[in-house]
Amino acid sequence: EIVMTQSPVTLSVSPGDRATLSCRASQNVNSNLAWYQQKPGQAPRLLIYGASTRATGVPDRISGSGSGTEFTLTISSLQSEDFAFYYCQEYNNWPPWTFGQGTKVEIK
């Protein structure tokens, strides 16, 4: 069973700064990796699939990269609406379909 490890657990960033979030898979997941954003009291929202393809409506300041076991979500210039929790999810080796434990992006 794959383990998805996200780092850091909490990321403190000033508005306008860049945020870099990491997701590591314990086995090769090729490019079968998605990223989600979740704000308090809301359902998750798909941001990225296929490791680097933005979902509909996702601004281009949000980008994903990586393949194999190492993945990165980058938010180039943090806006107020970007402060949230972020989860990665692999869909290469299943079942189960595994999520990372999440990264909280908070205002510095």
Partner 1 sequence: QLVESGGGLVQPGGSLRLSCLDSGFTFSSFTFSSFWMSWVRQAPGKGLEWVANIKQDGSEKYYLDSVKGRFTISRDNAKNSLYLQMNSLRAEDTALYYCARGSSGWFDGYYDSWGQGILVTVSA
Q: Does 91 help bind partner 1 (rule: CB under 8 A)?
A: yes
Q: Pairing between strand 33-38 and 45-49?
A: antiparallel
The nearer residue to partner 1, 44 or 68, going by C-beta atoms, is: 44
CB of 99 to partner 1, least distance (A): 4
**From candidates 49, 64, 66, 82, binder to partner 1 by CB under 8 A:** 49
**CB nearer to partner 1: pick between 16 and 57:** 57
**What's 96's DSSP letter?**
S
